[in-house]
Structure 1
Amino acid sequence: MPYSPTVDTASPLIFIINAASGSSAGDAKRAVLEDALQAAGRPGELRFAKPDALARVAQQAAADALATRSAVVAVGGDGTINAVAQAAHAAGCPMGVVPLGTFNYFARTHGIPTEPAEAAQMLMQAQPVPVQVGTVNDHVFLVNASLGLYPDLLEDRETYKARFGRSRWVALGAACMTLLRAHRQLRLQIDEGGVLREVRTPTLFVGNNRLQLEQVGLNLSDHPARALDDGRIAAVMLRPIGTLTMAWLMLRGAVGTLGEADSVESFAFQRMQVKPRLAYGRRTIKVAFDGEVTRMRTPLEFRVAARPLYLLKPAPSAAEAAPA
């Protein structure tokens, strides 16, 4: 019988909160969470962590949640959610989300409210449900992982947010500036199920989130990656293009027709190995996953994780619970 964790409502939910936002923001988050716990009569524990300690705090919280048959809850944006997901997936304990990001694709895909107070209230009645996650070199990603142009876009976006604040318009403006710059082409050897091919592309994007892919125009109802949440993830590559074509693709993505462009190739897979051609002496490449950017040793192996993540989700309605 497959493993399925349960949550003991008498055990405290453990909330992991990114402490980088400042004391006033921290007080507001604390108030939202404590109000939800008090209204539901549930115990809870709030653990604040600075960014450089987030992974360590999340790992300890996941171990504590597993030992007490509870759950660990990420309170924050993409980076916080990914760090907690990595720890929860490794430990096998349930995980909840109170999203505080810009786009919140992961929360929206799984029916989790994007308003913090509503998300916290939902957690009080939620049950763990297995959801698919992807990995790159065994590092979990919930929404996407990429190399090439997209990591540059994320770094530029953080720079713009630091200057102009966090908003979707700032993110869009940063994306425009990144995409209109000249970029070098990646030279990749892709091994998909033993089939090798050499490609040149400004970026390789691997998506595990139906909402994000459909928003830019990849219609998964009739796409080979339509089983995105059932054992496969989707790869998107741009063929070598110039600045004007890049601007045109940017516009098509904004209006949701990127998937119709001739310069875009997309396909679904379970496992794929990617070997970038690097400069002599280099062994690592810049990789982005769920909004974070790091360097990873090559080759890169993208795959659907063998085990699911157990996510606290709203209880399904009678219609959703009925078999198809």
Structure 2
Amino acid sequence: MTRFRSAALIVNARSRRGQALFKRACAAFADGDLQVDAHAVEDPRELDDVLDRALARNPELVILGGGDGTISGLVDKLVGRGITLGVLPLGTANSFCRTLGIPLDIAGAVEVIKSGVPRTIDLGMIGDDYFANAATMGIAPQIAETVPHGLKKVLGRAGYLSWAALQFIKFKPFWLTVDAGNGPQHLKVVEVRIANGRYHGGTELMEEAEVDSGEIVIECVRGHVKRRLVANWGASLLRLPQRREDVVVFRGKEIRLDSDPRLPISIDGEVLAHTPAVARVAAGVIDVLVPAEAA
């Protein structure tokens, strides 16, 4: 591991599993020639400040450990700095890593950072906010925006799923206006996926999206009743041809979105925007270490 003279490792270690995997990653890097400035961050609110302090040392390589939300939340700080990104998949879905062919185990991901090759990729944007993988409109951001703080911690997974079920009962299809440069189009939809990569929620949903296409891809699942969303989810999980039914695809460098009613937009799991919004591509703005065969 001699290609980089300096590296910083920032891991979202909020969970017990994250702390254990941080130690494993540090041990794996210890047998190489590269000195890694390593940080385990137990409070996600401190991730930005820790990364800022690490960047002040001008590392050539920044390794981010966490899920898709962690990667998207921090990648803004790397754009335009000539820094290569390495990724340790510590999340639940790890869609960004799946898209890039990065192994989902720590040993495999560390080996990619040691011996992989840089791949220049795009990032998506909602307004001025970069994201690595995907943004969503529909039931997912509705759940994320309304769930009581600490519910999952107090009542566990069952409490969170109960809240999600309640929100699904309340959820209604909505009107979407899309303008990809050819004039506005109006659709009644049950979900909107704004994609920089092929995977969302750990499932390959957006076959048209590529991380180096120079375009943003938007998939709209049409429907006047919410059972269309359930049907689409089921067909997608089972990889059935019906998963493309009622799906309308828009692509371009910049696409304008509006909705009735006004709705939240989740960016890799975090609600960070609302309609109206502009989705765009930031083409070729960052290098990521990937397996040689994925480059």
Normalising by structure 2, report the TM-score.
0.82
Q: 1:217: Cα distance to partner?
A: 5.8
- 1:266 corresponds to 2:249: yes
Root-mean-square deviation (CA), in Å? 3.4
| Equivalent residue for 1:192, pick from 156, 169, 180 | 180
Q: Secondary structure at the match of 2:76?
A: helix
Gaps of 5+ in 2: none
| Partner AA of 1:203 in structure 2 | E
Distance of aligned partners of 1:162 and 1:250 in 2 relative to their CA distance in 1, 3 Å threshold: farther
- Name the structure 1 match of 2:54: 61
The 5-angstrom pairing of residues 118-129 of structure 1 reads 118-129=108-119
- Name the structure 2 match of 1:282: none
Contact 1:190 1:196 in 2 (8 A): yes
| Partner AA of 2:282 in structure 1 | A
Distance of aligned partners of 1:245 and 1:200 in 2 relative to their CA distance in 1, 3 Å threshold: closer
Contact 1:180 1:247 in 2 (8 A): no
Contact 1:207 1:233 in 2 (8 A): yes
Distance of aligned partners of 1:262 and 1:275 in 2 relative to their CA distance in 1, 3 Å threshold: same
Counterpart-to-counterpart distance in 1, 2:80 and 2:39: 19
Q: 1:245: Cα distance to partner?
A: 3.5
Per-residue CA distance 1:209-265 (angstroms, 9 max, x = gap): 1244994565x4xxxx36663222321112233244443333222212366454322
Counterpart-to-counterpart distance in 1, 2:290 and 2:162: 33
| Equivalent residue for 1:232, pick from 207, 215, 235 | 215
Distance of aligned partners of 1:147 and 1:63 in 2 relative to their CA distance in 1, 3 Å threshold: farther
The 5-angstrom pairing of residues 20-59 of structure 1 reads 20-22=14-16, 25-26=18-19, 28-49=20-41, 50-59=43-52
Per-residue CA distance 1:95-122 (angstroms, 9 max, x = gap): 1111111121211222222111331233
Contact 2:259 2:275 in 1 (8 A): yes
Counterpart-to-counterpart distance in 1, 2:26 and 2:214: 38
Contact 1:15 1:44 in 2 (8 A): yes
| Partner AA of 2:280 in structure 1 | R
Normalising by structure 1, report the TM-score.
0.75
Per-residue CA distance 1:140-164 (angstroms, 9 max, x = gap): 11111122223135567x9668755
Runs of 4+ in 1 over 6 A off after TM superposition: 173-176
- Name the structure 1 match of 2:258: 275
Q: Secondary structure at the match of 2:14?
A: helix
| Equivalent residue for 1:286, pick from 255, 264, 276 | 264
Gaps of 5+ in 1: 1-6, 280-284
Contact 1:232 1:270 in 2 (8 A): yes
Counterpart-to-counterpart distance in 1, 2:276 and 2:226: 29
